[in-house]
């Protein structure tokens, strides 16, 4: 890929689709989209009538093989950007963005694994791109996803993840629910900790490539625990949302 | 944007405004402590006035970027060197 300078352009919203009560997927047609690597993000910029601009980063949830660019947006009530994206934006609207950005937090099937993915809430977005890419590329790399959500109804991409895991022995998914659990729930029901990672993750000897994405406290807990378990820090990549998002 | 600690990868956008190379996978050496690693694995602080990439080992400011209308200020005093890889 030839080096190029990053420029702003307009993507057109082809479709929006609610995922959970607080998240929505935006499917964008971006003219001359040169493709992305699973895990990369875009910057989105909104401009008010008075010229005030607000900018946020959103991970791309779609696989490179998918035609459209899917962004997963979590609605933050006091956010400057996300309420507009989830409540106001309609099919046919334009959205100013630039990308794809960020080659560091990215995975391609040819890099192998095994692949350890740890997500908190909407942190699933870039990891979903990797899981979808894994399928689209026909990869046989073993993948384990540990996914922390507040409740069963707030498990983003739940049905798609279930069907992907059902059809692919190389993909193993473990959920933990931190606030409420449905009747007869037999899975984890606490925040991710070192014991849980010890049970779910590949062993350090298997040298997994780990990607961790979610709220800052989760990311820092997981990264510290993985290194504590003996994983190579260089193979643990993190993407913090930060405390505010927006 | 409020200033808060993020991964170096979060500075990818502003760095791509300036550099044609992918900067988050560039290797850097800290001029203060000598630690080496990829820029994406360092820490980034984003605010209205600019972006600072800090060493994950010693918190030294490696890269500072500020921008105004039609111009950028780039301070690289904190890096001993940057090793840039051509994209595959």
ipTM: 0.91
When scoring B16, B69, B87 by the number of chain A Cβ atoms within 10 A, the one with the most, hence best to mutate, is B16
Q: Running DSSP on this structure, what letter comes out for residue A107?
A: B
Chains A, B: CB pairs < 8 Å: 76
Q: Give the tens place of pLDDT for each residue, A93-140.
A: 999 999 999 999 999 999 999 999 999 999 999 999 999 999 999 999
Q: Which of A2, A4, A101 sits opposite B12 (nearest CB)?
A: A101
Q: Which of B7, B16, B22 sits opposite A240 (nearest CB)?
A: B7
* Residue closest to B79 by CA, chosen among B3, B17, B6, B8: B8
Mean pLDDT of A221-245: 89
CA distance B16 to B23: 7
Asked whether residue B2 carries a pLDDT value surpassing 50, the answer given is no
Which residue reads 């694995």 in tokens?
A: B41
Name the band, by pLDDT with cuts 50, 70 and 90, for residue A177. very high
CA distance A189 to A148: 9
How far does the CA of residue B38 sit from the closest CA of chain A (Å)? 8
When scoring B13, B28, B35, B86 by the number of chain A Cβ atoms within 10 A, the one with the most, hence best to mutate, is B13
When scoring A99, A104, A227, A236 by the number of chain B Cβ atoms within 10 A, the one with the most, hence best to mutate, is A104
Mean pLDDT of A27-45: 95
Q: Considering only CB atoms, which chain B residues are within 8 Å of A238?
A: 7
Q: The tokens of B79 are what? A: 């890096």
Distances (CA, A) of A191 to A5, A125, A150, A175, A219: 41, 19, 9, 11, 11
What pLDDT score does B47 carry? 86
Q: Considering only CB atoms, which chain B residues are within 8 Å of A240?
A: 5-7, 10
- State percent of chain B over pLDDT 70: 95
Asked whether residue A21 carries a pLDDT value surpassing 80, the answer given is yes
User: B5 vs A5: CB contact, 8 Å cut-off?
Assistant: no
């Amino acid at each position: 890929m030839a080096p190029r300078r990053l420029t702003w352009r307009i993507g057109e919203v082809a479709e929006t689709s609610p995922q959970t009560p607080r998240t929505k997927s935006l499917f964008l047609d971006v003219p001359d989209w040169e493709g992305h690597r699973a895990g990369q993000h875009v910057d989105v910029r909104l401009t008010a009538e008075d010229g005030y601009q607000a900018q946020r980063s959103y991970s791309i949830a779609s696989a490179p093989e998918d035609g459209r660019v899917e962004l997963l947006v979590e609605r933050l009530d006091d956010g400057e950007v996300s309420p507009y994206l989830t409540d106001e934006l309609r099919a046919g609207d334009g959205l100013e963005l630039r990308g794809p950005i960020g080659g560091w937090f990215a995975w391609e099937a040819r890099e192998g694994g095994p692949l350890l993915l740890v997500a908190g809430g909407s942190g699933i977005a870039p990891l979903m791109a990797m899981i979808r890419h894994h399928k689209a590329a026909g990869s046989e790399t073993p993948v384990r996803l540990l996914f922390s959500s507040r409740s069963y109804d707030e498990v983003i991409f739940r049905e798609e993840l279930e069907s992907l895991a059902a059809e692919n022995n190389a993909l193993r998914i473990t959920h933990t629910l931190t606030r409420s659990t449905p009747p007869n729930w037999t899975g984890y029901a606490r925040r991710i900790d070192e014991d849980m990672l010890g049970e779910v993750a590949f062993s350090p000897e298997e040298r997994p490539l780990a990607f961790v994405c979610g709220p800052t406290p989760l990311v820092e807990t997981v990264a510290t625990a993985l290194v504590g378990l003996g994983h190579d820090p260089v193979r643990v990549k993190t993407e913090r949302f930060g405390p505010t998002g927006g | 944007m409020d200033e808060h600690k993020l991964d170096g990868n979060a500075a990818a956008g502003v760095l791509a405004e300036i550099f044609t190379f992918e900067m988050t996978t560039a290797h850097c050496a800290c001029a203060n402590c000598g630690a080496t690693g990829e820029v994406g694995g360092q820490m980034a602080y984003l605010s209205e006035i600019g972006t600072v990439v800090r060493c994950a080992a010693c918190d030294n400011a490696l890269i500072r970027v500020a921008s105004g209308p039609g111009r950028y200020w780039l301070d690289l005093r904190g890096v001993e060197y940057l090793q840039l890889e051509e994209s595959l």
